[in-house]
Structure 1
């Protein structure tokens, strides 16, 4: 049985975060395939019960490397499941729970964007409502403002028919192709 994340040596945890950061940099640099390969390796190396924070982070970014919207949705759902498990069980370190709480609006925004790509307007609107609800827990800073702007852009795209059959998927507003504009408290 794996040791709980809070008991993991700081060096091992730091090394995992460094590797996650390297994969993020590869993705942002345009090497989606290598980023996807590295995230996949990290995913298999992390414990599904003890490494919830890392698994949330890995899945959140792995979703952005997917070519198929169904796969992207599956990874975003994995990220949300890890965040929920971390939040509900009180597992992991306090700073991880705090970081995940600040990530929730982005997780729901990503899910909404996935549903837009898949043409499910109702699900997209539901996820956007969750994103808006979670924004209230964030401090009034640039991160929150960026997420709010991304939510509003996606709402406008839905209103303009982006999630309807034959609607235009388009860009979700971010330089990395994600709806949150690359804004992320862990980056």
Structure 2
């Protein structure tokens, strides 16, 4: 019988932020072994003394450190561990910087190919991405203005040609929000306020989901910063820092591909109100959509073989 002070894998997973499957993998790899394994059931039990190691392991993996390097850091003395972490971070920053430069070069080439009188939908998308690549708000501002200028020329008919399920109205809060935030960072609070008003006027078109919630939170953050006349960059704002740290770029600007996919998925799911249980093809054991059972409100996918958590 396991010691009453030991934690089963599920409890330990919740304490450390790691999944049970990840804990099994790390145990099999020898990086984070349980204190005890029941010889009959095979259940794994962990002690409180493993929590700090597990938490550090998760944090190191979050910065894309290879498992062999993680093990070396966890087993090293504090000074050596700090050196190994610094080396890894420097490498990640260098790799991300190279990717960023390559992305900027390709986007600028695409912008030149499209031309200033080219398809406004394509110009809007490229300008939106390019604004994300500049830390200097003055440089970002030029692309933010181009993105909004192109957006004003996009028609619903053109969007429908791109994809029948898309609605462009839900996009408009984003470029105005970006301009409000960029003008704020430049200290032009009157201009920032004007674009904040425009962003809020378009906010009712935002979807009632994670994307819409994200932008509503950003609207509140930027409005508060304008009221304080604060010119500091927001922690959650997009930009080169997100590329360098490996953080997923914010949806505040630029991520049109995800926005469009989101709009298509949202409309598609509304067509499937119910489905019958079928085992998900992914790892979470959830159900996926078939006519006649659990609906998409529970996060089920009505047309794919994997639920959203496993895609």
Tell me whether the two structures share a fold, i.e. TM-score over 0.5: yes
Aligned length: 151
Deviation at 1:107, TM superposition (A): 0.5
The counterpart of 1:60, out of the listed 107, 113, 128, is: 128
CA contact (8 A) 1:150 1:181 kept: no
Select the residue among 225, 233, 237 that pairs with 1:174: 237
**Which residue of structure 1 aligns with residue 213 of structure 2?**
145
Normalised by the length of structure 1, the TM-score is 0.70
TM-score by length of 2: 0.44
User: How big is each residue's C-alpha offset from its partner over 1:27-53, in whole Å with a ceiling of 9 and x where there is no partner?
Assistant: xx5533222111101101114444211
Higher relative contact order (CA 8 A, sep 6+): 1
Deviation string 1:82-102 (CA, Å, 9 cap, x unpaired) is 110113xx6624155945432
Q: Runs of 5+ in structure 1 lacking a partner?
A: 1-28, 164-168
Residue of structure 2 aligned with 1:92, choices 140, 143, 158: 158
Q: Is 1:101 the equivalent of 2:172?
A: no
Counterpart position of 2:178:
110
The superposition leaves residues 100-128 of structure 1 with CA deviations (integer Å, 9 ceiling, x where unpaired) of: 43221111110011101110111111111
Which whole-Å CA distance do the structure 2 matches of 1:138 and 1:39 have between them? 27
Within 1, Cα distance between the matches of 2:137 and 2:160?
A: 33
Q: Could you list the runs of 5+ residues in structure 2 that have no partner in the other structure? A: 1-95, 243-248, 259-311
Summarize the Cα distance change of 1:121–1:103 in structure 2 as closer, same or farther, 3 Å threshold.
Answer: same
CA distance in 1, matches of 2:159, 2:205: 19
| Greater Rg by CA | 2
CA distance, structure 1, for counterparts of residue 171 and residue 159 of structure 2 = 16
Say whether the 8 Å CA contact 1:56–1:82 is kept in structure 2.
yes
Report SS of the residue matched to 1:162. Answer: coil
> How far apart are the structure 2 equivalents of 1:143 and 1:73?
23
